[in-house]
Amino acid sequence: MMNREDYVKQIPDYQYMRETVKKDENRLHFHLMPPTGWMNDPNGLCEFQGINHIYFQYTPFLAGWGTKLWGHYTTTDWIHFQECEPFLFPDCGWDRDGVYSGSAFVDGDKIHYFYTGNVKLQDKDYDYILEGREQNTIHLVSEDGVHAGEKQLVMTNSDYPADMSKHVRDPKIFAKNGRYYMVQGARDCESKGCVLLFESEDLMTWKYFDRIAPEEKFGYMWECPDYFKVEGHPVFAFSPQGIEAEEYRFANIYQSGYLADVRLPDTSQIRDIYKKFREWDLGFDFYAPQTLEAPDGRRILFGWAGVSDSPYDNEPSIREGWQHSMTVPRELSWKGGILCQKPVRELEALRKDEIVFEQGEAEIHGGAFDLVAERDIAGEIPVCICFNQELQITYGHGVVSMGFLNNTGSGRTIRKAKLDGLQNVRILMDVSLMEVYFNDGELVMTTRYYPEDPMTTKVSISGMEQVKGWTMAGQ
């Protein structure tokens, strides 16, 4: 357990971490990072009274997996973020081993939060899949997004279907036809992934409604479900674990993606999931996204720029006392039956000096830049974009690849994806994190990248006709 007082008492002992982190040359300029320690899933995304709240899984005093709090940032413009005090602490018997992922639901002048309280029994050795664990669904209310109200236990493992394992978590709320619905990721006793659907009339009392799962097995666990609309199209998103890797899909140890035009609470439409499931990001570092609706109606997505249990690591940042970040906020749009992702348009305000390319080459200083390359070339002329002779992005014969040429990927090797024609590519480089958007976000790849010299980047581009670029300011 850790309450707010415990957290405050430990801060002086770990002040050196904050100072070390500030000096790290791999720190990012315009992405959200943990102030110190570890960051993973975005949580509780919401807009309330003109302020956007971004909470996240947070271990402040350890740059690795540990007891989770909810860290907290706010923004009003998507480019300047204010660090706030942690919002939730594992300070009661229902969540003593961590406040796990959850969501926020704005109802009038209040924000309702739901999250998973993690408890691991310690009286003997357990199989923590089928026994020895509590996954409690906890509810609380806030009137400002900063001060958390009293925690209320709304469901325990005994309230979930009898054939569920002890892994049920990550509640997300939506409303439809005057009723409230909750989706929770789950793993059944046969290790088949699914999402559980609950309904409520008052956000307090919940009853089981149905199960979202195909007949065929699609992973052993589904995490971080989300349900929302983009341009009138309903989208059901989740993060399955245990999908067998293919050459062009499912290359990471865990996946995140969506099914389009699934109209919950009707669960009968979950068919042919293997064919219809589309991954959000085909790079090395992306998992557990969550969305919110901005005041102007845009659907905004944040992803965790990381994946647990990967065979590669982030040792360069771990040595300095921190690990992981969020992606930039991404706008979602509908195009030809798929969702496209673009960096929010506000990020263009961070562009500074224009980068001059000579014969497709440039030397960029500062570590953070935004490149846009377009082409009108017909046919299959190969494309190659190379950074410091360390990281290479190529396109040819309908295949995009992102591959490391040395150890600057900290164990990352190569990712490939199918792409029917390349019209444009946008590359956001932020010192040690790169996001690559192909064809206006039809395909996205995100990766950590630890250059030998983070402040100097030599870029060469071939196969693209028009190249523009700008250095980027920090937030």
pLDDT computed for residue 143 by the predictor: 98
CA distances from 254 to 118, 247, 449 (A): 21, 15, 20
Per-residue pLDDT reduced to its tens digit, 386-441: 999 999 999 999 999 999 999 999 999 999 999 999 999 999 999 999 999 999 99
Q: The domain that contains 410 carries what CATH number?
A: 2.60.120.560
SS3 assignment, position 306: coil
Residues 56 and 180 in one domain: yes
* Residue 460 neighbours by CB distance under 10 Å: 16
Cα–Cα distance, 129 to 188 (Å, whole number): 9
Cα–Cα distance, 126 to 168 (Å, whole number): 17
Cα–Cα distance, 441 to 460 (Å, whole number): 22
Cα–Cα distance, 419 to 421 (Å, whole number): 6
Q: Does the N-terminal peptide bond of residue 265 adopt cis geometry, omega within 30 degrees of 0?
A: yes
212 within 8 A of 183, measured Cβ to Cβ: yes
401 within 8 A of 394, measured Cβ to Cβ: yes
The alpha carbon torsion through 315, 224, 153, 61 (nearest 10 deg) reads 10
Cα–Cα distance, 174 to 114 (Å, whole number): 12
Residues 138 and 270 in one domain: yes
Per-residue pLDDT reduced to its tens digit, 314-347: 999 999 999 999 999 999 999 999 999 999 999 9
Residue 9's H or E segment, with its range, is helix 4-10
The residue whose two tokens read 């190969």 is 382
pLDDT computed for residue 381 by the predictor: 86
Q: Which two tokens stand for residue 237?
A: 């998103």
Q: Which two tokens stand for residue 39?
A: 């960051």
Residues 303 and 392 in one domain: no
Q: Which two tokens stand for residue 264?
A: 């919950």
Residues 10 and 130 in one domain: yes
pLDDT computed for residue 379 by the predictor: 59
Residues 11 and 136 in one domain: yes
Among the candidates 280, 312, 342, a domain finishes at: 342
SS3 assignment, position 90: coil
pLDDT computed for residue 211 by the predictor: 95
CA distances from 274 to 33, 166, 217 (A): 33, 25, 9
The one-letter amino acid code at 213 reads: A
CA distances from 475 to 47, 142, 272 (A): 20, 28, 43
Residues 316 and 464 in one domain: no
34 within 8 A of 322, measured Cβ to Cβ: yes
The alpha carbon torsion through 292, 295, 300, 302 (nearest 10 deg) reads -60
Residues 442 and 319 in one domain: no
Residues 10 and 86 in one domain: yes
Q: How many residues does the chain have?
A: 475
Residues 302 and 373 in one domain: no
Per-residue pLDDT reduced to its tens digit, 93-120: 999 999 999 999 999 999 999 999 999 9
pLDDT computed for residue 378 by the predictor: 59
Question: How close are the terminal C-alpha atoms of the chain, in Å?
Answer: 34
pLDDT computed for residue 54 by the predictor: 98
pLDDT computed for residue 273 by the predictor: 86
The domain containing residue 412 runs over which residues?
Answer: 351-472
Nearby residues of 314 by Cβ (< 8 Å), 6 or more positions away: 306, 323, 324, 410, 448
Among the candidates 293, 318, 342, a domain finishes at: 342
Domain total in the chain = 2
Residues 197 and 73 in one domain: yes
SS3 assignment, position 105: strand
pLDDT computed for residue 272 by the predictor: 79
pLDDT computed for residue 304 by the predictor: 98
Nearby residues of 18 by Cβ (< 8 Å), 6 or more positions away: 35, 36
Active-site residues: which are they?
41
Among the candidates 322, 342, 362, a domain finishes at: 342
Residue 16's H or E segment, with its range, is helix 15-23
Q: The domain that contains 135 carries what CATH number?
A: 2.115.10.20
Cα–Cα distance, 342 to 334 (Å, whole number): 11
Q: Rounded to 5 degrees, what angle do the CA atoms 276, 281, 285 make?
A: 140
Residues of the chain with pLDDT under 70: 377-379
pTM, 2 dp? 0.97
Closest CA to 414 of 423, 425, 403, 405: 403
Residues 429 and 330 in one domain: no
DSSP string, 258-287: EEES--TT--TT--SHHHH-EES--SSS-E
Chain-centroid distance of CA 444 in Å reads 13
pLDDT computed for residue 163 by the predictor: 97
Rg of the chain in Å (alpha carbons): 22
405 within 8 A of 392, measured Cβ to Cβ: yes
Residues 367 and 327 in one domain: no
SS3 assignment, position 183: strand
